[in-house]
Structure 1
Amino acid sequence: MLVLSFLALGVLWRRPQLDRLAPGRPLPEGLERVLRSTTLRVLVGAASAGLLMLVFATALVGEPTSALNLAPTFVYVLFWLGLVPVQVLLGNVWPALNPWLAFADAAAWVSERLGRTWTPPLSYPERLGVWPAAALLFCFAALELCYAQPASPRALALAIALYSYTTWFGMAACGRRTWAGRGEAFTVYFGLLAQIAPFGGRHGRLVVRTPLSGLAGRDTRPGLLAFVAVMLGSVGFDGLSRSPFWQNLRADVEGPYVLDSPRTAELLSTALALAGLLSCILVVALAYLAATRLARAMVESEQPLEPEFVRSLVPIALVYAVAHYFTLLLVQGQYGLRFASDPFGYGWNLFGTADFSPNIAPLSPNTVWYLQVGSLVAGHVAGLAVAHDRAVTLLPERDALRSQYALLALMVVYTVGGLWLLSRG
């Protein structure tokens, strides 16, 4: 399928298309005024800030059993997975939903009313790019995939507190919007996914545009490849860690210590998982670097191609997440109705949904497999199209096609790797 798509792109897509389609069509002014209104922004921000406080409170003082506490399901399912389709379908709504930004905006508003306008003492170093966001995203992935008790409400309370402190410190030091756009992991993450969406922003207007056209152009922010590699590599490691190979390796490492020193066994298991997570991230990044440098050599380009094609990995990161987690979202996400009535696990039934019984098999195994395979292939074809469009923008027609040979091989490797992880997990 990828090879056929590559051949079709070479024949039918000889001129840049995404840049031309990126401007889109502005939304009706009346609708845009409503969506951008201060009232709506304040209401949404207040609700989001209140939700953050609720989740933190449930994690801190609620029932310590994860199955009875809202926090694990909210953080790992409703927030981390549930916002992905929202961003991809509706565009970048995260800045309006960002509770850390809402708190910072509220603090700035109060400060201004008191006549104490805050001026950030530091200028954000351009060379840092999105490296802080990549580091924070890695920490989140490590908590979820490497820590022995990732669903522990108390561990999540500590993680929320540390992340909030780091975010607010960065905003106070470098400016609210500056830190959010470069140092706040979820803003960068959801912002990248929103570039796929049919809705976006252009020259201060909200627009309807062709899907994927938001990925047109180049993104030269330092650390972007590292960030995308964490997106892809963390999902890859999650699949690998469920495989019999990894389970056997883990048993060999921690087995001798399980009975005599369980704490040592837990630390060794965590260290092994961290090494595995880092390895998967490095494999993703090094494979991309090898492909782009080979492409550069094949066309004898004077400029490096690494920053030119990194956005083509975003659709792949999306479908990796969809293929691996959409069943978790469909099943575990239903528990949100139960937790709405009893978020702390205290036995409440505020809205009459505490006894809600989720449908644990909404789709058949065959349907799930076909959807997983189909989404993986479609995402890689989309990534190939984005890369091809960038190539025909940068290079003469013949060189543009030649430069894509290495990237086609990269997409094939990512596809095969994704299918293998799905089959083994």
Structure 2
Amino acid sequence: MTRRCRRLAARLPRSVAVLLGAVPLLAGTAAAHVGALGGAGTPQPVPFWLVALTGGGLVGGSFLFTSLMTDHEAIQSVNASRLGLPSAAALRRGARTGARVLGVLGLLAVLTVALFGPAAPTNAAVLVVWVGWWAGYTASTYLVGDSWPALNPWRTLADLLPARDRDLPDLGAWPATAGLLGLVWLEVVSPVASDPRFLAAVVVGYTGATLAGAAAYGEAWFDRIDPVSRVFRLYGWLAPVQRTGDGLALRLPGGTLPSRELADRSEVAFVVALLWVTTFDGLVSTPTWNDVVRPFVSVGVPAPLVYLVATLAGFGVFLGGYRLAASYARRTAATYVSAVAIERRFAPALLPIAAGYHLAHYLGYVVGLSPALAAAVTNPFASPALRAVVLPDWFGGIALALVVLAHLAAVWVAHAIAFDLFPGRLQPIRSQYPFVVVMVAYTATSMWIVSQPFARPIAV
């Protein structure tokens, strides 16, 4: 969730931590309190119409370029290419055990520091959760591989409980979708990203609900209900390191997406929700958002209610737009494949967009707050002034480039899916017309949000 990223600094994940050695050569450091860093973003200094037109044009142009590649076997060979990695069973078991211990110790450390450390936004628990885990670790799941099944401390603790293994009601992914929307709403309307005591309460509540669910339903709880596990699993589909029957293999990033098919429309809804919450978390820190919310709050409408309605309405618009594109794709392709089947098959093509926007959002955030995170981890019960790297103006261009690259990857994945789903050469290309329109529109929207100056959200 990205309100912290604009509230505490700017944007970038741990996957680019290799740049940290060079950053001090490019920018100085400044001591400041958390609140003073809210406007430390790096908006693009060129006109937005030019940025959006360029980004949308690149996405549209990439579709025209990929349309020239109509050899189904060649497309499959590109996506199926892989390199096996040497692995030993004993080494894998040892690494998994170490990850499980590390995850539980990390959870206990976060709770301890959040409860007994300084009651300030510079509390180490706050920085570890938002900078180290949600920004940095999340990026590792799509840039490297999904290690969450081994690291997940709640799964490890659940294994110690007597399992009842009841049959979980068939609700699809709707509970996980509601959980994801609820988490981003809570992050936006509460001080969970700045108040360590409140953060501890949320973690304790989440721990209780998760362990109770896992004790009742076993592994099915993490596979079908838990929104965090589902987010990391879907992001892991993008990663170059994939688990296979023979161990681990290096794949083309996103190379497995064309072969993925979601089970039903509820899973499609979760993918769309993942796309929406990342967008919404950035939207609430723009001046335009404040202009929209202020009239409602001024006449007495509770701000949390306004944010809740906006969360649900935006999700509805995103989901409705995607379903409409799938319906039109059936017409443009002139196919007997149902619109629901088209929805399920093309939904994985949205994951590169969600990951790319997450990466763009947290780029400068992790780089900017890496000194504060390092200081907090080495001395967790101290409350030093927050030291942040002041990023150069051109850094905002990296975020815009990441958004465009993510959309280009999404176009390629959709192209590969189309040629796998439809026969011939012309029908697959025609099926992509509505989805390209949606992707161009989303590119412009994402780039607009990334290029906006920071505006502190209206207090709730």
Q: CA deviation at 1:35?
A: 4.5
Corresponding position of 1:115: none
Aligned equivalents of 1:17, 1:318: Cα separation in 2? 26
Corresponding position of 1:59: 114
Aligned equivalents of 2:313, 2:193: Cα separation in 1? 20
Corresponding position of 2:178: 135
Would you say 1:221 and 2:263 are equivalent positions? yes
| Native 8 Å contact 2:119 2:196 kept in 1 | yes
Instruction: Give matches, 1:80-95, under 5 Å.
Output: 80-95=134-149
Which contiguous aligned blocks of 4+ residues in structure 1 show a shift greater than 6 angstroms? none
* Number of aligned residue pairs: 390
Corresponding position of 2:308: 274
Write out per-residue CA displacement over residues 136-175 of structure 1, whole angstroms, 9 at most, x where no aligned residue: 2222211222335642222211211121122112211221
Would you say 1:334 and 2:371 are equivalent positions? yes
Give the root-mean-square deviation of aligned CA atoms: 2.2
Distance 1:17 1:123, change over 3 A: farther
Write out per-residue CA displacement over residues 17-68 of structure 1, whole angstroms, 9 at most, x where no aligned residue: 665544733321xx3435522x32222211110110111122233322222x
Would you say 1:11 and 2:71 are equivalent positions? no
Aligned equivalents of 1:157, 1:407: Cα separation in 2? 42
Instruction: Give matches, 1:146-295, under 5 Å.
Output: 146-147=189-190, 150-176=193-219, 178-203=220-245, 205-222=247-264, 223-255=266-298, 268-295=302-329
Corresponding position of 2:126: 72
Aligned equivalents of 1:168, 1:23: Cα separation in 2? 39
| Native 8 Å contact 1:81 1:325 kept in 2 | yes
Aligned equivalents of 1:32, 1:199: Cα separation in 2? 16
Write out per-residue CA displacement over residues 340-392 of structure 1, whole angstroms, 9 at most, x where no aligned residue: 133234x6xxxxxx68x74422x3122x2221121111101111111110100
Aligned equivalents of 1:202, 1:18: Cα separation in 2? 21
Match of 1:408 among 417, 423, 436: 436
Which has the higher mean CA deviation after the structures are superposed, 329-338 or 77-86? Answer: 329-338
Corresponding position of 2:98: 43
Aligned equivalents of 1:13, 1:213: Cα separation in 2? 17
Aligned equivalents of 2:116, 2:236: Cα separation in 1? 35
Match of 1:306 among 343, 367, 370: 343
Corresponding position of 2:168: 124
| Native 8 Å contact 2:258 2:414 kept in 1 | no
Which has the higher mean CA deviation after the structures are superposed, 55-64 or 414-423? Answer: 55-64
Distance 1:339 1:17, change over 3 A: farther
**AA in 2 matched with 1:158:** A
Aligned equivalents of 1:195, 1:35: Cα separation in 2? 23
Aligned equivalents of 1:71, 1:414: Cα separation in 2? 34
Corresponding position of 2:15: none
Aligned equivalents of 2:361, 2:263: Cα separation in 1? 28
**AA in 1 matched with 2:389:** I
Would you say 1:360 and 2:389 are equivalent positions? yes
Q: Secondary structure at the match of 2:68?
A: helix
Match of 1:24 among 68, 82, 90: 82
Distance 1:149 1:89, change over 3 A: closer
Aligned equivalents of 2:287, 2:95: Cα separation in 1? 50
Q: CA deviation at 1:13?
A: 4.2
Q: Secondary structure at the match of 2:243?
A: strand
Which has the higher mean CA deviation after the structures are superposed, 369-378 or 147-156? Answer: 147-156
| Native 8 Å contact 1:23 1:207 kept in 2 | no
Q: CA deviation at 1:251?
A: 3.0
| Native 8 Å contact 2:272 2:315 kept in 1 | yes
Instruction: Give matches, 1:372-391, under 5 Å.
Output: 372-391=399-418
Q: Secondary structure at the match of 1:54?
A: helix
Distance 1:129 1:344, change over 3 A: farther
Structure possessing the higher relative contact order (Cα contacts under 8 Å, 6 or more residues apart)? 2
| Native 8 Å contact 1:148 1:270 kept in 2 | no
Write out per-residue CA displacement over residues 237-293 of structure 1, whole angstroms, 9 at most, x where no aligned residue: 222212222223333333466xxxxxxx7xx12211222222222222111111111
Aligned equivalents of 1:301, 1:334: Cα separation in 2? 55
Distance 1:92 1:149, change over 3 A: closer
Aligned equivalents of 1:285, 1:95: Cα separation in 2? 28
Q: Secondary structure at the match of 2:126?
A: helix
Distance 1:209 1:53, change over 3 A: same
Aligned equivalents of 2:88, 2:254: Cα separation in 1? 22
Aligned equivalents of 2:118, 2:269: Cα separation in 1? 37
Distance 1:384 1:83, change over 3 A: same
**AA in 2 matched with 1:405:** Y
TM-score (norm 1): 0.85
Q: Secondary structure at the match of 2:331?
A: helix
Distance 1:35 1:275, change over 3 A: farther
**AA in 2 matched with 1:300:** A
Distance 1:162 1:22, change over 3 A: farther
